[in-house]
Amino acid sequence: MTLAPPDYVVLALAAGGVVTGLFIGLSGALAFFSGSLAASFVATFGWRFFASFVSSGLVRGIAVAFAALVAFWIARAIVRKTVKVALAQPGDAILGALAAGVSGFAVGLGAVWLAQFIGFPGAEGSSLLNEVVGHVG
């Protein structure tokens, strides 16, 4: 298999994920994911909830942004402390590197697929994407 330029982008994102995962660990990766999920949930439903109390779009946006930041912070703190207690330091770093490397690889493949879908010049010919699509379907 020969690698095309989009494949190097995918591999660079995977390598960056591995290095980042070593520093933040699995606890940091899971904490960020759960915090982002909580913030998006609060922002989605908070916009409709604050509509009955506040008529101004700017004030409602500020209130929803503040509520989303608080939800992000609380969920991130709870998950980070829980996972840090369950995993010792070397295991946390190794599992974090593995999880972040896989997610970086997946994000890179998604970016290459989106670039091919849009018709971005130079995005075609990714051997890694063709291999994954051949196995996944």
pLDDT digits (tens, 9 = 90+) for 12-21: 999 999 999 8
Which residue intervals of the chain are DSSP H helices?
Answer: 5-51, 57-86, 89-118, 127-136
Q: Rounded distance, CA 135 to CA 113, Å?
A: 15
Domain boundaries, the chain: 5-130
Identify the band that residue 115 occupies on the pLDDT scale cut at 50, 70 and 90.
confident
> Mean of the pLDDT values across residues 59-70?
91
Check residue 21 and report its DSSP letter. Answer: H
Token representation of residue 26: 């699995």
- Residues 99-114 pLDDT 10s: 999 999 999 999 888 9
Closest to 95 (Cα-Cα) out of 9, 30, 44, 41: 30
Q: What pLDDT was estimated at residue 25?
A: 87
